[in-house]
Amino acid sequence: MSELATESVAQEEQEQKIRKTHRPGTYHRLMIVATVLAVLAAVVAAAVYAQDKYSLKSPGGIAFSDFRGYEDWSLVSSARTDEILKVIVANPIMINAFKAGVPGNGQPFPEGSRIVKLQWKPKKSTEASFAVDVPDTFSQAFVMEKDSKRFPKTGGWGYALFNYDPASDKFTPDEKSPADCGHSCHVAVKAKDYIFHPYEKR
């Protein structure tokens, strides 16, 4: 076989390989697979780098994880100032104590009681047909937990503040907030086991 014929056969074989590899639709299928893989990688990366707020601890050593699930805890009460709307929720241990008459019956809240004050900046509703303030930007979670062994100097309660930044969607422990940050204010209600808000009628 001549050198020219050999080159022609080799070229034909190469072209057949290319045609087989690049059948109609193959390119598009490859692009779809690549796109799907890229989307999955982005989702996984977002999950990996999303903040785990429950890994945070206050300067006084109060772990946010102690309040895991607070988003679904029962309502105790609400309050507001000119600048802040507040909703107070508590864990089942504390809710049951409230329902049993604590602290009005002279009994303290049991160990393991936890309460959270959720705070929003308010705004005027643009949808309601009457004047009403509604939550706008979430700003803070103020937490208290009853653990007499850990907090004997503050009536058995530990306090912490976790600030929320909507721009980064992240919580940070308030560095100016040691474990007894709220005690000085709560001494005013020592007779109520340091809790301001009663369990409101509903």
For residue range 94-105, list pLDDT tens digits in order: 999 999 999 999
Average pLDDT on 76-102 reads 96
Q: Which domain range does residue 63 map to? A: 53-192
The answer to whether residues 133 and 109 belong to one domain is yes
Q: Name the band, by pLDDT with cuts 50, 70 and 90, for residue 176.
A: confident
The answer to whether residues 26 and 12 belong to one domain is yes
Average pLDDT on 75-90 reads 95
Q: How far apart are CA 174 and CA 169, in angstroms?
A: 16
CATH number at residue 71: 3.50.70.20
Q: How far apart are CA 95 and CA 113, in angstroms?
A: 8
The answer to whether residues 35 and 72 belong to one domain is no
Does residue 201 sit within a domain?
no
Query: What's this model's pTM, rounded to 2 decimal places?
Result: 0.72
Give yes or no for residue 15 having a pLDDT over 90. no
Q: What pLDDT is recorded for position 65?
A: 97
Q: How far apart are CA 103 and CA 150, in angstroms?
A: 21
How buried is residue 195: exposed, middle or buried, by Cβ count under 10 Å (0-12/13-18/19+)?
buried
Listed in order, strand segments (DSSP E) in the chain are 74-80, 85-90, 114-124, 133-146, 157-165, 170-173
User: Domain count of the chain?
Assistant: 2
Q: Name the band, by pLDDT with cuts 50, 70 and 90, for residue 44.
A: very low
Average pLDDT on 141-152 reads 96
At residue 132, what are phi and psi to the nearest 5 degrees? Answer: -155, 140
CB-CB contact of 80 with 86 (8 Å)? yes
Q: What percent of the chain has pLDDT over 90?
A: 67
